[in-house]
């Protein structure tokens, strides 16, 4: 079975597991928008990841991550909340692939997922930080780490 087939066959299970993991983290903004919206957002991200894996093209997931960063930033989401959502989906995908793929095929499957999700998380972080650099965001205030570094 290919990684694409595993994802297709396990779509609802993966989204359920990702939602459960995200819900356990209690991210304030995702709780505020509610379960149906959060599940749809996870499903949309899942579909983009699946498409990127199938097409071997990172463009859809990178563009989606940039759009997500912009939307969530302007909605007041902390970057950690959005990263938690990405991580929850990634973990659920990996668990399912590991559960059904033969060991000989795991390296390629995990490599594909890691590449696609890594590109998405990188685009998310770069976009969010770019937006935040124009406005003070408490979660990105690193000045306390550098006090006394110049003395």
For residue range 16-28, list pLDDT tens digits in order: 999 999 999 998 8
Backbone dihedral angles phi then psi of residue 68, each to the nearest 5 degrees = -60, -45
The tokens of 4 are what?
A: 């694409």
* Predicted confidence (pLDDT) per residue in 31-83, tens digit: 889 999 999 999 999 999 999 999 999 999 999 999 999 999 999 999 999 99
Nearest to 135 by CA among 70, 80, 82, 85: 70
Contact 93/49 with Cβ under 8 angstroms?
Answer: yes
Tell me if the pTM is above 0.85. Answer: no
Domain ranges of the chain: 3-134
Q: Is the pLDDT of residue 129 over 50?
A: yes
- The pLDDT of residue 87 is 95
Whether 149 shows a pLDDT value over 70: the answer reads no
Q: Please state, for a pLDDT cut of 90, what percent of the chain lies above it.
A: 72
User: Would you state the pLDDT for residue 151?
Assistant: 45
CATH for the stretch 3-134: 1.10.490
């Amino acid at each position: 079975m290919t990684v694409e087939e595993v994802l297709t066959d396990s779509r609802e299970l993966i989204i359920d597991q990702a939602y459960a993991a995200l819900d356990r983290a209690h991210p304030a903004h995702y709780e505020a928008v509610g379960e149906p919206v959060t599940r749809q957002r996870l499903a949309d991200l899942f579909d983009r990841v699946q498409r990127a894996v199938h097409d071997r093209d990172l463009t859809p997931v990178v563009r989606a991550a940039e759009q997500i960063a912009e939307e969530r930033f302007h909605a007041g989401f902390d970057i950690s909340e959005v990263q938690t959502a990405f991580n929850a989906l990634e973990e659920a995908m990996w668990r399912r692939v590991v559960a059904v793929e033969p060991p000989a095929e795991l390296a390629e499957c995990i490599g594909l997922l890691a590449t696609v999700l890594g590109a998405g998380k990188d685009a998310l972080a770069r976009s969010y930080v770019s937006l935040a650099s124009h406005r003070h965001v408490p979660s990105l205030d690193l000045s306390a780490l550098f006090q006394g570094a110049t003395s």
